[in-house]
Structure 1
Amino acid sequence: MSWDLIIGGLIFALPILLYMVAARVSNRNYRTWPVYRYVCWIAGMLCVGLPLIGPLARLAPANFTIHMLGHLLLGMLGPLLIAFSAPMTLLLRSTPLPVARRITRVLKSNPARIVAHPAVAALLNIGGLWVLYTTGLFMDMHHSLLLHIVVHFHVFAAGYIFTVSMIYVDVAPHRRSFQARAIILIIAIAGHGILSKYIYAHPPDGVSSEQAKLGGMLMYYGGDAIELILVFWLCMQWYKSARPRPAASILQALD
């Protein structure tokens, strides 16, 4: 086993350990942290780590299909699973009150409000992918370590911000209407699908036609599967919010 794999594994093991410690601290003062959130965090970190270290990371530069699998893990499935683990809620529950208040102020700030807007998040996410695959950036990132790191960080961060701006499963100070989020989500899904078809027909620089077709198909169908979860969750939350409340619940809320 190579040293880079060992070091990379340790780097990704650290957030998992910190999450466990934070949950233990949280359990002392609040309701027990759900087991499924642990599972989502660990699975999400694995999805983020696999494209960056190990066999997938080594094969991706020479195999566009493997690269696209990494995109789905790093930019879509990983962020979705991490969002379901509610890391910001756990952070606020496990830190001292003064620190939690500072974090809350940052989350409520104007810059955070702008970045967390679904339209901005969609532009950063889908727009960033269009820039990556329709310009020379895709080839350039394979020749610059710094650019490689920046691109992969953006793919993950933009994917995570987009996810939490669409479905509110964690702390969300700046909430938008279901109608607005649904419209933006539909546009984003269309943009992702069109890009996958564009890649199928117009391979990025340095990518063979065969690899582009396989990668484009994986992006299209794999992306659809993950986006379907977003659509389902948004519709479920919308349904729950619009469902008539029982009379007992209404009276209880008035007490």
Structure 2
Amino acid sequence: MASSVAWLLLVTGGSVAYLSAARAERRAGRRWSRSRVTAFAVGAGLLAVAALPPVVAFAHHDLRGHMVQHVLVGMLAPLGLVLGAPVTLVLRTLSVPAARRVAAALRSRPVRVLSHPATAALLNVGGMAALYATPLYAATLSSPALHHAVHTHVLAAGCLFTWAVLAGPDPAPHAPPMRTRLGVLLVSVAAHATLGKLMYGHLLPLGTPHGPDEIRAAAQLMYYGGDLAEGLLAVALFATWYRRRGPWPTLRAERPGRRLPHLV
């Protein structure tokens, strides 16, 4: 229960900070899209749902509840949060020297490596494989610290993957062309589906108190929940691509996200 309350407080605090910054932008006469606010609110709302005490209690003893949390935290919520462009809002809110330091970090080599879609996909789907195809999940059942670390990784990897594939709306100065990002997304869809089938067929994760029917139901939730989340991500990717390029875009023409906001 304490972890649920802490989680809800973090989500509430982040949401209040975002909404306050967006309101300050509007009061200063600078445009901030309501669609971004809505997207961020939806993402934060999904995180809050995953942290509700009944959901947390369900997840603690049932793999199906855990998988509902996983889909919400690692797949659906990140899309809303990323579409809310929180980094851009931070850059506008910070002082010029601080914003320049953040911009320099975005241009750095470590961020270049981490933000490549292939790296982000490895951390995202690879993290899921490590959780369910190794003894890691069983270990989280007896270690609250490991359990929270896994949830933190799931959220961070989901946000990183979403940003890397969309190359926006936040600055993405190292983003590869559309065809690369689309290819990585398709490979990730296939890898995610394969993992779901392996869980269903081989009753993964092993070494847990969950019965076969429960594991198969959880695998189905992961499989179809992943389809939904990845389908929405694909829609957002093509919508962003079309908006940038206009009518009749081409896969090879675009290199998005090269610019950072002017920090004046």
TM-score, structure 2 as length reference: 0.86
**1:150-189: CA deviation from partner (whole Å, max 9, x where unpaired):** 1111001000000000012222111110111111110000
- Of structures 1 and 2, the one scoring higher in RCO (CA 8 A, sep 6+) is 2
Rounded Cα–Cα distance in structure 1 between residues aligned with 2:2 and 2:201 = 40
Q: Which residue of 1 aligns with 2:119?
A: 120
Rounded Cα–Cα distance in structure 1 between residues aligned with 2:99 and 2:23 = 17
Rounded Cα–Cα distance in structure 2 between residues aligned with 1:182 and 1:156 = 21
Deviation at 1:234, TM superposition (A): 2.0
Rounded Cα–Cα distance in structure 2 between residues aligned with 1:143 and 1:170 = 38
Q: Which residue of 1 aligns with 2:21?
A: 22
Rounded Cα–Cα distance in structure 1 between residues aligned with 2:8 and 2:18 = 16
Residues 180, 70 of structure 1: alpha-carbon distance in 2 compared, 3 angstrom cutoff: same
Q: Which residue of 2 aligns with 1:79?
A: 78
Rounded Cα–Cα distance in structure 2 between residues aligned with 1:5 and 1:169 = 30
Residues 210, 237 of structure 1: alpha-carbon distance in 2 compared, 3 angstrom cutoff: same
Q: Which residue of 2 aligns with 1:252?
A: none
Amino acid at match of 2:169: V
Q: Which residue of 2 aligns with 1:158?
A: 157
Matches within 5 A, 1:31-180: 31-167=30-166, 168-180=168-180
Rounded Cα–Cα distance in structure 1 between residues aligned with 2:2 and 2:194 = 40
**1:48-84: CA deviation from partner (whole Å, max 9, x where unpaired):** 2333451111111211111111111000101001011
Deviation at 1:211, TM superposition (A): 0.9
Q: Does residue 214 in structure 1 map to residue 182 in structure 2?
A: no
Q: Which residue of 1 aligns with 2:234?
A: 231
SS, match of residue 112 in structure 2: helix
Deviation at 1:36, TM superposition (A): 2.5
Deviation at 1:208, TM superposition (A): 1.4
Amino acid at match of 2:133: T
CA contact (8 A) 2:11 2:48 kept: yes
**1:21-61: CA deviation from partner (whole Å, max 9, x where unpaired):** 21122224453322222222222122223334511111112
Q: Does residue 243 in structure 1 map to residue 243 in structure 2?
A: no
Deviation at 1:244, TM superposition (A): 5.8
Deviation at 1:113, TM superposition (A): 0.7
Identity %: 35
CA contact (8 A) 2:117 2:161 kept: yes
TM-score, structure 1 as length reference: 0.89
SS, match of residue 15 in structure 1: helix
Rounded Cα–Cα distance in structure 2 between residues aligned with 1:236 and 1:84 = 12
Rounded Cα–Cα distance in structure 1 between residues aligned with 2:193 and 2:4 = 34
Amino acid at match of 1:123: L
Rounded Cα–Cα distance in structure 1 between residues aligned with 2:130 and 2:31 = 43
Q: Which residue of 2 aligns with 1:186?
A: 186
CA contact (8 A) 1:5 1:53 kept: yes
Q: Which residue of 2 aligns with 1:199?
A: 199
* Unpaired segments ≥5 residues, structure 1: 246-255
Rounded Cα–Cα distance in structure 2 between residues aligned with 1:8 and 1:177 = 36
Q: Please say which structure displays the higher CA radius of gyration.
A: 1
**How many pairs align?**
244
* Unpaired segments ≥5 residues, structure 2: 250-264
Amino acid at match of 1:243: P
